[in-house]
Chain A
């Protein structure tokens, strides 16, 4: 199956990393979350309601709408926070990438474990800059706000092409398509990964991963 891949690139100041990532990830998840499914007899189901919440960024001149679910927000914040820490600890020139991957699980027979087949991957490339004074920071606030606005428009454009989406599952299959662990909303199954680019331009973790995969393939 072809996996749709989209890349977004942003350049931010170090203290803006968190909010910029939250803005984009939440915007994508808003579109990729539904209400909780309630299956009824005869294979029909009803869908719960998704609320929304506006969030004002502190370090960026930007407001975004996200799903009104504290649980989901916590999960995303945790991932973004790890990414931010990795970025600042890396000692590289502040380049990294965080990926939000939507996948489907395909049950395989024993002894093979379930396969995770991605159907949409959003990669957000981050470039961190250091600014010299307050004036530049003020300009950066506004500029990054504008840029994020453009990225939101890009996201919306891609999503509204209405390309492949997993079929609505039956009750037994729902966990292969949706993340049913949250109480109030149900996003498609997703995972968030990140990579920090070292100064050589190659990503350390992908190199390792490639090595391991190659070894296992033998």
Chain B
């Protein structure tokens, strides 16, 4: 009962609880800013360091806390809660934790307010400092920036834990008995972070939809407190204006962070996923850990090929072989990287740029593949230094470029080389065979990106701009016509070439 407490003690106690609440909010929010905190110890006491702890006061946070408290104190049935949530650059958000400062009826009349309660509140704040570094949201908050940001919301009243998902865990930071009740500080944190990885694949967000502040400094010490201080004052979804408020404040938040250019965005999204997965594993075995992992893995594979568009096309044309019978011959192998080539008939479809065709062939056949290599001879191509091209590429008779196959039923040697069984006249689907690829010096391991996957994915890099020549601009005939000129030039410089060759020897 309050009558047992002297007025001075009551006043002191109220003050202690009020400032304790404010300092609690500061500690929690500062621990989620994404930076390491460092404050100095001072042997000479200053009047402003409540509970003898050096805890900085971020003005916006104090303002928000005072606004939420609205002159009241945490009491029975009136808890002060700080909700920490994560918001991705795509707009998805998820509650991570809720810190609750509650008061219950259990009183301790004998305790001395000005001394014991004060010191115990100080110890409780230290415990809060320790525990805020231990919950899963800490690691997530340290990695925030490109893909997601951490936001806070302070509210007063009933504790709402429904947004934390199933299986959330609770950790009690501590309790302090006072003559008017027992102060309890606890944290409920989400354990199921699988939501994030799954959600990412439901959306195919355009890269350009995100604000790119290429040259803005990344959020660092000076800037961060201001942005975190933006009130994350969203209310329940049924309030329209609440949402609008959220959009505004969070848009502001987003622009002040430097999001990376598109390519990096993909890469960093990939790197974000492991963080979420690690978080899921950290506190509680996730409901479907395998599911989560696979989602992440697939995502990794799905997203990356989209980036180099040429490569993706090449990949796709390889997978879905051309349907027209006429191109099942040489067109197949030769035109695998350039769709347009098929259109100009077989002859011209034969690579106008022999170098490119050679590249196309060698690219298609992976290293260490247990198949006969392409049977084109470099010698048959009119290349300068053709003699230096890799040998053993097959005899001239089988060379489709010298003697293009006449009709579809006669498969190209290249096709034959890629067939697992040399079946003829087979459908387009059999042209390309999935070969079990075992790159040297790599072992079957659990890493998501092993050497084999890497090689497969990056086997078809985009064409160099200098090498991709438009079909209509040149044809084989033109090439042949220009050859005498080229030969003349080379003959003129023959001394130079000889000198070069001597130098090599």
Contact = CB atoms under 8 A, between A and B. Distances in A.
Interface of A: 27, 30-31, 34-36, 38, 46-56, 61, 63-65, 67-69, 135, 142, 145-146, 149, 152-153, 155-157, 159-160, 162, 168, 183-185
Given A30-B130, A63-B36, A156 B446 contact: no
B367 interface: no
B344 to A, nearest CB: 52
Contact of B45 (A30, A49, A156): A49
B50 to A, nearest CB: 10
A52 B127 contact: no
B54 interface: yes
Interface string B10-39: 000000000000000000000000001111
A185 B41 contact: yes
Main secondary structure of the interface of B (DSSP, over half): mixed
A47 B37 contact: no
Interface in B419-463: 445-447
A183 B173 contact: no
Contacts of B124: 160
A142 B278 contact: yes
B174 A156 contact: yes
B134 A153 contact: yes
B43 A183 contact: yes
B492 interface: no
Given A51-B54, A52-B37, A142-B282, A184 B45 contact: no
A48 B41 contact: yes
Contacts of A153: 131, 134, 171
A35 B133 contact: no
B93 interface: no
Contact of B42 (A49, A55, A64, A156): A49
Contacts, number: 128
Given A52-B126, A153-B131, 12 more contacts: A30-B126, A31-B127, A48-B42, A49-B42, A49-B54, A51-B53, A53-B38, A55-B36, A142-B278, A145-B282, A152-B134, A160-B127
A157 B124 CA distance: 10
Contacts of B282: 142, 145-146, 149
28 contacts: A30-B129, A31-B127, A35-B41, A35-B45, A38-B43, A46-B45, A47-B45, A48-B41, A48-B43, A51-B39, A52-B37, A52-B54, A53-B37, A55-B36, A61-B139, A63-B133, A65-B37, A65-B133, A135-B447, A142-B281, A142-B282, A145-B282, A152-B131, A156-B127, A156-B130, A159-B123, A160-B123, A185-B43
Contact of A184 (B41, B122, B123, B176): B41
Contact of B39 (A36, A53, A61): A53
Contacts of A46: 45
Main secondary structure of the interface of A (DSSP, over half): mixed
Interface in B157-202: 171-176
Interface residues of B, number: 44
Contacts of B135: 149
A35 B45 CA distance: 8
Interface string B276-290: 001001110000000
B46 interface: yes
A67 B38 CA distance: 10
Contacts of B37: 52-54, 65
Contact of B38 (A31, A54, A142): A54
Interface of B: 36-46, 49, 52-54, 115, 120, 122-124, 126-127, 129-131, 133-135, 138-139, 142, 171-176, 278, 281-283, 445-447
A94 B171 CA distance: 32
Contact of B36 (A38, A56, A160): A56
A152 B53 CA distance: 20
A151 B43 CA distance: 30
Nearest to A153: B171
Contacts of B173: 156, 160
A114 B171 CA distance: 41
Contacts of B133: 54, 63-65, 152
A38 B44 contact: yes
A98 B178 CA distance: 36
A54 B30 CA distance: 12
Contacts of A52: 37-39, 53-54, 126, 129
A31 B42 contact: no
A48 B49 CA distance: 9
Contact of B131 (A48, A53, A156, A184): A156
- Among A54, A68, A145, A159, the one with the most B-chain Cβ atoms within 10 Å of its Cβ is A54
A31 B173 CA distance: 13
Contacts of B175: 160
Nearest to B173: A156
B121 to A, nearest CB: 11
B167 to A, nearest CB: 16
Contacts of A159: 123, 127, 174
Contact of B52 (A35, A168, A183): A35
B120 A162 contact: yes
A174 to B, nearest CB: 14
A49 B138 contact: no
A61 B275 CA distance: 12
Contacts of B42: 35, 48-49, 51, 184
Contacts of A162: 120, 123, 176
- Among A30, A156, A157, the one with the most B-chain Cβ atoms within 10 Å of its Cβ is A156
Nearest to B49: A49
Nearest to A54: B36
B107 to A, nearest CB: 15
A65 B129 contact: yes
B54 A50 contact: yes
A193 to B, nearest CB: 24
